[in-house]
Every structure is written in structure tokens, then in C-alpha cells.
Amino acid sequence: MGTSTWHKSPATPEWERVRELYAQPDPSPREVVSRIVAALDPTTRAGMSDPAVVTCLGVLVEGTQRVAGDGLAATLAALGAGTEPAAVQLAAGLRTRADQLIAQHQYASRFGDLGLEALGNTALALAALEAEGAGLLAIPLSVAEASLASLARSDRLHQAASAFVAHDLDRTFRQFVARDLGEFVGGLGLPTVNDANLLEDAVAAHCRECAAAVELSDYESLLRRAETLDPVVRVSELTPLMASGISQGLSILA
């Protein structure tokens, strides 16, 4: 189910407190996010670490480990991706692999769609870690390889996992906001479509930056085994990690 089919937020008092901010001048992204966290029901919270989302996390970790072991060129070839621009090709290849696994195991969900977006964005971010300001299209294959391989070789796979959580919260909260904004464009809070877009961007950036504090180092040994696990087993093994990351992130954002 694509995210474009999401209905407006539920008609609850908690979500009304979120929506009232969109009608006020200069709605605060921090306050919007805080109120959204308070409005989330248990089912929604659980869905944010469902099997489709965890599949995306597993593919990210698997890909990072394969770059460290086999090199980026071989990893791209195994994914059926091209080699240039390396970072973009890797992001697309990992997303395709995750999408295929989600379809194969019938994990598809609305949060899985957002997880796929987060997977691509996280892969791009990780590939640029040692790029020294180079644009994504200009990152040499060797630099992207070094950026990714260093995470696996120096026991920092948990940082890759934390980055995925941050990007996943970015995409998820962007969607929580976007589904309601249309009815408020033209009002005091959001005079134009551009103002609505800027609020979405600010909310997403706030979530991503705050969630950088998520700490998953206790799962490093599990993450090192991820590449060797069957994808279904891997989902089962990594679900507590993703649930912990989401729980920590929501606590920070609250």
C-alpha cells in the first residue's frame, strides 16, 4: 500500500492538538513533532518496526558488510546495479533488493514503503561519510567503498543502524505531517504550498537530527552476524533492535 493512499490522521483529541498547530502562524516543527509522538497509538508505534521496515535495515547492514568483504564494485554487480555514480547506484540496488524480499515474503506495508525510502537515503549518507563535501554524483567509487567498509571493519555497524532509524523517522514524520497539510494551505499558519513544504522539510530534519542520538551499540555483535542469516531469520533477530531504535527515537522527540 503506497504512502500516497494514507488517509488523514485519526479524529482523536490528540491528533486535533497536532492539527491546530497548522492553523497558527509559524508552526514550530519541534512542537508539531512532540504532539505527534503523544498522538501515536500502540498499533502505529508497533508498525514502525514491522517486518518490511526491518527487512530494509537488514539489507542495509548486509550491503555494508559485503562492501567491506568483497568491495563496492563486486557488491554493485551482485545487486545488478551499475558502477557510476557509485553512491546512487548502491542506494538504488539496495532498495531494489529490499523491495524484492518484501514482496517475496509478503511483508508489504505502508511503513515498509517509508522504510524503502529511508534505506536509499541512508545508503547515500553512509557512502558520503568520507567524501569531504563532494556531491553525491561526484563521489568516486573508491571513496564510497572506504566510507562503507570502515563501518564494518571498525565495529560501527550500530552507527549504520542508528542512521537508518534517523532517516526512517525523518520519512515517517514527514508523512504524518503531509497527510493533513492540504486543508490548511492558504491559512495563517501555511499561507502557501511552499510554506507547507518548508514545514515538512523542517519536521523531517528535526527528527533526523534528534534521532542521531539513538544508541544501538549493544547490538553490534548481532549486526555482525546479519549477513550470514536467512532474510526471514534476520527479520526476527533484528526486530528488537529496530523496536529499541524507534522507542528511543520517539522518547527523544517527545
Dump pLDDT digits (tens) for 21-63.
Answer: 999 999 999 999 999 999 999 999 999 999 999 999 999 999 9
Q: Over range 178-201, report the average pLDDT.
A: 94
Provide the sign of the torsion angle of the four alpha carbons 155, 244, 55, 127, taken in this order. negative
pLDDT band of residue 6 (cuts 50, 70, 90) is low
Closest CA to 171 of 131, 211, 213, 129: 211
Crossing angle between the packed helical segments 51-70 and 110-127, to the nearest 10 degrees = 20
Q: How far apart are CA 54 and CA 60, in angstroms?
A: 10
Helix (H) or strand (E) holding 208: helix 193-210
Q: pLDDT by residue (tens digit) across 228-241?
A: 999 999 999 999 99
Q: How far apart are CA 59 and CA 98, in angstroms?
A: 6
Q: pLDDT by residue (tens digit) across 103-115?
A: 999 999 999 999 9
User: CA torsion angle for 187, 190, 192, 196 (degrees, to 10)?
Assistant: -140
Q: What is the pLDDT of residue 1?
A: 29
Domain boundaries, the chain: 27-253
Report which residue type is found at 10.
Answer: P
Q: How far apart are CA 137 and CA 153, in angstroms?
A: 25
How large a percentage of the chain has pLDDT more than 70? 97
The yes-or-no verdict on residue 187 having pLDDT over 60 is yes
Q: List the single range of 77-91, 122-136, 158-172 with lowest mean pLDDT.
A: 122-136
Q: Over range 182-205, report the average pLDDT.
A: 95
Q: What is the pTM of this model?
A: 0.94
Phi, psi (degrees; rounded to nearest 5) at 190: -135, 80
| Contact assessment for residue 47 and residue 111, using Cβ atoms and an 8 Å cutoff | yes
pLDDT band of residue 89 (cuts 50, 70, 90) is very high
C-alpha cell at 206: 528535526
